[in-house]
Amino acid sequence: MSWKKRGTNYQSYSYLEPGADYVAFDLAPEIDRVAPALIELSDEQERHVESLVRDNVMISLHEHLGTFPADIDQTPAYVREGRTATAFRGLADSYWDAVFDNLLDGICTIESKSGWKWNDVIHDLGMRLCDLAHQDFVVHCKSVDDILRAHREERVAFIVSLEGAAMIENELDRIEILYGLGVRAMGIAYSEANALGSGLREPRDGGLTVFGRQAVERMNRVGMLIDCSHCGDQTSLDVIEASSKPILLSHIGARALWDSNRLAPDEVLEACAARGGLIGVEAAPHTTLTARNPTHTVESVMEHFEYIKELVGIDHVSFGPDTVYGDHVGLHRVYTANLSIKESRARAAGTTPDFERVEYVRGFENPSECSKNIPRWLVKHGYSDEEIIKVIGGNALRVLREVWV
């Protein structure tokens, strides 16, 4: 395809001297780390996709835009250095106009061993934003207007999101501090329970706590989008009921298609949509599998998309691929405990369903490839322009206009 964003030659932290001011790592390629797998289209379909992505806003509800070491086993040392590089070249090769970037989330172990500590999160956020301040391609997004401006100027809006709220501990005011620092979305819990509610790894889900209800109210009032992708089922239902604004399931799939704790039952998906919320379909390795497509590829992911679309309607589904620039499967191996990989993949009964392990998700290997193959798949499978515009960004804009201030 000929359409390209305006791009940039900037490289992370180029205002400093590597080796003197910080420890430099050999990072994974941001483009073509593995053989690209673009969905084949006719010439007419190619032109159709190009017009759609040129003329309409594309938003990813969940990604990680940091670039990881080429040798993924060096990641713990790289993380401890506290200086994650942003994949500016990869973003310039994508079609995304706006991306919810979730920073280091569960592997934010700059000082602590367990992650999710206040100082670590603030360090990670501050370092990334300092880097962004030295370039003019990626926009630190704080409003819908910033997204529209990024699209108009062929740039990318960087939306700061946190997957769990453990770092606020029992301090409601920290929600406002995070908002003031530019955080515009936050999860209630990341797999393990915290002061707000239960994560998906807990054997018993106690639901949203009293403090959690206070946090939901505070997030509603300041205009921070609430995410329940890693929450337990009851906690998710409680949040949906307690929130006065639509909530987000930013990166998830349908448990009806694959019996995994990491995916949501119909009850949660339907409740989210009934209150105006939005569901982003997940593509991280070995998550959105299906009995028909047990080898994780773009087809597995899109089977979840179509199931959820039929269940809740086209107005409540989008995409949060949850991909990275680097070896995602290797990252899961290195950080199995921090990311609750074993518990996430378990059935409700505690066993892990059989599946074919892959080295990467073909067709959805990184954020750039996802941005290209989503509209290509939709065009190839006969979706109308109205439907495509909704799921690539229109539905997200609707929710953000209602939640953000």
80-97 pLDDT per residue, tens: 999 999 999 999 999 999
Model pLDDT, residue 337: 73
135: number of Cβ within 10 Å: 16
Which CATH superfamily does the domain covering 43-403 fall into? Metal-dependent hydrolases (3.20.20.140)
* DSSP-based three-state secondary structure for 127: helix
Give the confidence band of 106 by pLDDT, cuts at 50, 70, 90: confident
Q: Tell me the C-alpha distance between 215 and 217, whole Å.
A: 5
Residue 346 binned pLDDT confidence (cut-offs 50, 70, 90): low
d(CA 283, CA 238): 26
Residue environment code for 190-228, b if the CB has 16+ CB neighbours within 10 A, otherwise e: bbbbbbbbbbbbbeebebbbebbbbbbebbbebbbbbbb
Query: What per-residue confidence (pLDDT) applies to 84?
Result: 97
Q: Is the pLDDT of residue 1 over 50?
A: no
Which of 41-45, 170-174, 332-336 comes out lowest in average pLDDT? 332-336
Q: What CA–CA distance (Å, rounded) separates 301 from 256?
A: 14
CA angle, corner 12, sides to 138 and 375, nearest 5?
Answer: 40
